[in-house]
């Protein structure tokens, strides 16, 4: 529901930017599988690798709608 609330329920490209100014390009899109909708995010692999995230890691991002950007703390 977060994606719908923020107008991300259609395919669009976003940029993740951290406090050091490093950026990653990602895309989010809504897909349908067996009649059910789901959200697909591509391009996160590099972000996860660069930030050394592992299964169970948590992080917080702020969505800046006017810039189409996610800010990572």
The pLDDT tens digits for 22-38 are 999 988 877 777 778 77
**Predicted model pTM:** 0.64
Structure confidence at residue 3 (pLDDT): 61
Pick the closest to residue 28 from 46, 43, 48 (CA basis). 43
Q: How many distinct structural domains can be found in the chain?
A: 1
Query: What is d(CA 46, CA 2) in angstroms, rounded to the nearest whole number?
Result: 23
Could you list the residue range(s) of the whole structural domain that residue 46 is in? 2-72
Tens-level pLDDT at each residue, the chain (73 residues): 666 665 655 677 888 888 888 999 988 877 777 778 777 788 889 999 999 999 999 888 887 766 666 667 6
User: In whole angstroms, how far apart are CA 12 and each of 5, 23, 38, 65?
Assistant: 15, 16, 15, 12
């Amino acid at each position: 529901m977060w994606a719908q609330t923020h107008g991300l329920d259609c395919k669009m490209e976003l940029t993740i930017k951290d406090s050091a100014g490093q950026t990653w390009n990602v895309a989010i899109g809504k897909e349908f599988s067996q009649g059910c909708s789901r959200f697909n995010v591509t391009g996160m692999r590099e972000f996860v690798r660069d930030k050394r995230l592992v299964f169970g890691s948590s992080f917080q991002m702020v969505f800046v709608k006017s810039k189409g950007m996610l800010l990572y703390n």
